Structure formats: C-alpha cells, structure tokens
Structure 1
Amino acid sequence: MIWHGLATYDLNGVERPGLVVDNKLYDLAQLALAGQPEQTIGMPDVDGLLDAWDAWVPRLSSLAEQAPGLAAQGRLTAIEGAAYALPYRPRRIFGVASNFYEHADEMGTQLAPRAESQPYVFMKAQSSVIATKATVLMPAETEKLDWEVELGVVIGQTCRHVSVEDALSVIAGYTVFNDISARDLNRRTDYPFKHDWFRGKSFDTFGPLGPWLVPAGCIADPQNLRMTLSVNGEPMQDGNTSQMIFSIAEQIAYLSRILTLQPGDLIATGTPDGVGMGRGVYLKPGDTMTAWVEGIGVIENPVALESP
C-alpha cells in the first residue's frame, strides 16, 4: 500500500477533505472524480469516512495509488497555499497514563509490577483538540504547562470485547497527539482524591492533533515507531512505541471490556520521558512545540497567554 494521509485542509476559509501522497496535498473529491469517475458516491468529510471506514479503505488506497499518475498526466493538480485544519474531531479521547517506565520514574510514580496491573485510563475533553499551527492558550490558572508527545490511535469500528489478538484490526489509523498538561492543576488538596487529570488536561487547546490521519495499512508496525518533541528547536523527548508498558492492542482490549468503542474514538497511548515536569522546565508564552511520530508526520504549535 502506498503511504497516504487523510487530511482536512482549509483554503480561503473553506474546509475540505484531502489526501496527502508523496508530500503533495490533493482535494479528495477532485481526486475521486479524476481517478474513479464511474463511482458517483458523494465524498463525505473525514468524520463521515470514519463512520463507514471499512467500505472506504480500499477506495482511498486505490486513489492514493492513482494520484501521482493523474498528476503527471495533468488530470489532477496539487493544492497549494492551504492550511491543515483539524483532520477530524474525535468522538471521545481516552488517555493512557504512565505507560512508559522512564516517564513514570521522572514523574515520581511508583507502579505495581506489570503482571499485577492494568492500563490506567482517563478521559480528556474532545473540545481540547486543535490543528497543527494553532495556538495553545496558557490559562491564568497554571504556572506549570507541559507537553507530552503521543501516538494517537483512531478506532474505525464499533466493537466490544475485542481480544488482544484481534485488536489491531479495529484501528482506522494513526495520528500525532500532544497531550498538553497543566501539572499544577493535575493535583488536588481540597478533596481526598490526589489527582484530577480531567481538569489539568482538558482546557481548550490542550490537544494538538494531526497533521492528518494515516490509515493503519500504511504503518507496518505501530509498536515500533520513534517519536520526538522539541521546544524552540531544543530536543526534549525521544522515545519509541516499543517502550510502552501496555501495547496498543492491550489498551484496545482493556477499553473494549469496559465500553463499546466507536468509530472516531481516539486513544492517546502514552508518552516517553523528557516532559517538562521531569526536567523542571515548563512552557511559557512565545514557545513553540514540534511533535513528530515516525511514519505519520509532524505538528507544530506555539504557546500564548489566554486572554481574560
């Protein structure tokens, strides 16, 4: 399968679905018209594609194969001057906490032996997501704003009680996710419960996502992908999905025992070490974060103070 990314692009204030092939962006409807004119089915947005993912996967793959040839023949023109919008809007966001031993160590978290443990999952507000290049707004309530590069797993099937062996088959694709966290708001002293990850991670703009969705068939081994994050060009995180405590498949199986997973659900699968709290360094207005996952792409987001 030729590599391709399913994107949503913004051109002159209008958002449309696109397909990225060979580092070129093509309008998905125009590509379908040029490559498969006999198929008159309308082209939905990316959210709509996810709702019928199994039916669309082979067609998208075929269009990706055709795109370079159609462009060479002059039958298709790459989109220039467009901005990448949010590729899609997650139905729900599930975050997996302390899923890398080194990250747990830097946070001072004492984990039970893996054999005696299960994934620890929290939910993050869907309204937190923003596109690459969009600004992360630092609320007045925090002085310890932090970063976390993560592999985002997007579910493509309605499913329940999925086995570990079958779990990868329900994945639509992968994306880059930056789990922005207000560390000083993740903890509470006014209740007997120590942590409040929903509050510390769910502010608007705390979920940079993108730049596109890479179909699962384009990623040979999601459990062996390097991921990095830098702040103002200075390397901070450099890890690999192979270092996860609980694999992607184990996370899906665990979640599907609790609830029915749905197309568009996003699982943020955990972050490696190198976050700001472990270094005693935090984000400040004017900083720019660059998060990258091998085989997927890169997102870049500046930081600014939130206006009152």
Structure 2
Amino acid sequence: MPAIAFGTYASDGREAPAVICEGAVYDAGALREAGLHVPQGNWSNGEAAQFLENLCADHSDWVAIAGGIRAAAAAGKVRAVAGDARLCAPFRPGRIFCAASNFVDHADEMGTVLAAKAESKPYMFLKLEDCVIGSGEPVRMPAETSQLDWEVELAAVIGKRARHVSVADALSHVAAYTVVNDVTARDMNVRGDYPFKFDWFQGKCHDSFAPFGPWMVPASQIPDPQKVHLSLSVNGRMMQEGTAEEMIWKVNEQIAYLSTIVTLKPGDVIATGTPTGVGMGRGIFLKRGDVMTAAIAEIGEITNPVE
C-alpha cells in the first residue's frame, strides 16, 4: 500500500477528488482546508492535466505528509469519507497509448515472432476515453465476441509535456503510476474483408475495455517502475504473474519513442505491456459473470465483473 495516492470517490450523487492515505480515503478539499498539503487541481472534474502537471513538479516527502494526515485524523481535524463512498476511475484520460507484445513470453504465447530489439522499435496503439471504467464497474462483453481476454499492465501517467525527450530524461515526465486492464476481444482483432490482417480498434476500443485505477501513486513513490510486480486473477484463479523487468521496451524507452511522434501532454497515459498468462495463450476466455482482479503490488488492485 503506497503512503499517499490520489483518486476520485463518489458519494451522494457527486464525484470529488480523494487522497488515499494508507488505505483510508479522505476528501482532498477537506485536507486542504485543514492546512494539509495536496497539489492544486481538481482532477475529478476535468482539471486532471493541471493537477498532474503540479504533481509532476512536486517533490514532497509523501511519507511525511501521510504522517501529517494520520496525526490530523487522530486529533479529529480530518476524517475519512463515509463508508458508503466508492472509488471511481481516478480521472478519464483522453489518450491511452498501449504497447503491444512488450514481454517476450507474452509474444511467444500469442505466436508473435519479434525482430531483435536492435532492429525494432515499440509497437503502439491507442485506447479512448470511453474505454475507461473504475474498479467495481462492469466490463460489457460485446455480443459479437466469444474470445474476451484480459491483460494487466502498468500505466504511466504523464505530468509534463514531452517532445523528443531522451531515454535518460523520460521518467521525469511521469507524474504517477496506476493499473490498467487492456481488455481485448481477440476474435474481433482480426478480419478477412480487407487485406489488412489486424483491426485493433475493433478488438480493443469498445466502451468499458480499459479498467483503470484504483488510484494514482506519485511517481516518486515508485523510483524504479521496472521493479513492480503485476498479477491478474479470474474468479480467484491466478492467470498472470510477472515483473516489469521482463519488458522488452522499458517505460522510459516507450516515452522517448512516443515523443518522437507526438507531443505527450499532462493527462496522457501509457499502458506499458502485459506479461504472459492471457486467455488466448491458455485457450480460455471470459464469460458473463466472471470477475477479474488486476493488481500491481506496489500500487493496488482493480476488480471488474463481466456482463
């Protein structure tokens, strides 16, 4: 559990920014009113870019700030939000850049033959805002698919504009990290009515196909994103386990590569690839009523039913 994380909670028909301190959820505005430090910006109402830019520039000691919140709560100066509040997606990114076949074992299980890294570059695609849902929300299975699949991934949230950045400097543009599940309809990823082999828009961009959250952890709390541990279970059965050290293209290399094509902006998200263990490789797929839990040990977990 990170010392501090930033999310969004819903209560009484409204959404508001939250600070998660050692598992307890606090209203960000209430913490500010109590004189406690929260970077400026209401990320729950469309100001995510401003907040993430401020967070990226903020080098506070989050462990010390967590101690201050804990002390204020013990003194009755602040209190956690009511128990009926639920966490939503932390914010709704307009662009989610996704890395394909970025773990060797995952490429192998998919039958993907990769060129040597020295002769290659990252393969990226996009997911859209309407793909995003929070933990607890259902993934809606299209009637056209019988091969719905899962992919747990580390997501890097950009907080500083990046254009033609170096690999060495790339991580300084990350404000936070979170978890994303790159849900995919495998049988809709291919088509035979055009001479093009793949259609990843059709297979990956349906509404609800990017569970995201449960909160954002400031990048300074994850000094080496390649050390995080990823896992995903379906109905309690472990399907994926791995570490980000197994990536072909590291997080900083993906950021540097993308910045040669587009200007990365605060609020952009990069889903950095998935380890082995997806349904396609196992010959099993999701069905309505299944429940997925995608987790990164250093961040948290998101649980989503399929309907």
Normalising to structure 1: TM-score of the pair?
0.93
Q: Which moved more, 1:85-94 or 1:162-171?
A: 85-94
Matches within 5 A, 1:119-268: 119-268=122-271
Query: What is the match of residue 18 of structure 1?
Result: 18
Q: 1 CA distance for matches of 2:124 and 2:87?
A: 29
Query: What is the match of residue 68 of structure 1?
Result: 70
Q: Is the 8 A contact 1:28 1:43 kept in 2?
A: no
SS at match of 2:280: helix
Letter in 1 for 2:9: Y
Paired residues, what number?
A: 301
Matches within 5 A, 1:254-293: 254-293=257-296
Q: 2 CA distance for matches of 1:271 and 1:98?
A: 8
The alpha carbon displacement at 1:79 in A equals 1.2
Q: Does 1:33 align with 2:55?
A: no
SS at match of 2:226: coil
Query: What is the match of residue 42 of structure 2?
Result: 44
SS at match of 1:6: strand
Compared CA separation, residues 49 and 186, structure 1 to 2 (3 A): closer
The alpha carbon displacement at 1:220 in A equals 2.5
Q: Please report the RMSD computed on the Cα atoms of aligned residues, expressed in angstroms.
A: 1.8
The alpha carbon displacement at 1:52 in A equals 4.6
Q: 1 CA distance for matches of 2:208 and 2:273?
A: 19
The alpha carbon displacement at 1:50 in A equals 3.4
Which digits, 9 at most, give the CA deviation of each residue in 1:168-190, with x for residues without a partner? 00001001000000000001111
Q: Does 1:118 align with 2:121?
A: yes
Q: 1 CA distance for matches of 2:250 and 2:303?
A: 26
The alpha carbon displacement at 1:63 in A equals 4.7
Q: Is the 8 A contact 1:237 1:273 kept in 2?
A: yes
The alpha carbon displacement at 1:3 in A equals 2.1
Normalising to structure 2: TM-score of the pair?
0.94
SS at match of 1:223: helix
The alpha carbon displacement at 1:48 in A equals 2.1
Q: 1 CA distance for matches of 2:61 and 2:288?
A: 40
SS at match of 2:192: coil
Percent identical pairs in the alignment equals: 51
Structure 2 spans left out of the alignment, 5+ residues: none
Letter in 2 for 1:130: I
Structure 1 spans left out of the alignment, 5+ residues: none
The alpha carbon displacement at 1:43 in A equals 5.1
Which digits, 9 at most, give the CA deviation of each residue in 1:83-104, with x for residues without a partner? 0011011120111000000000
Compared CA separation, residues 20 and 90, structure 1 to 2 (3 A): same
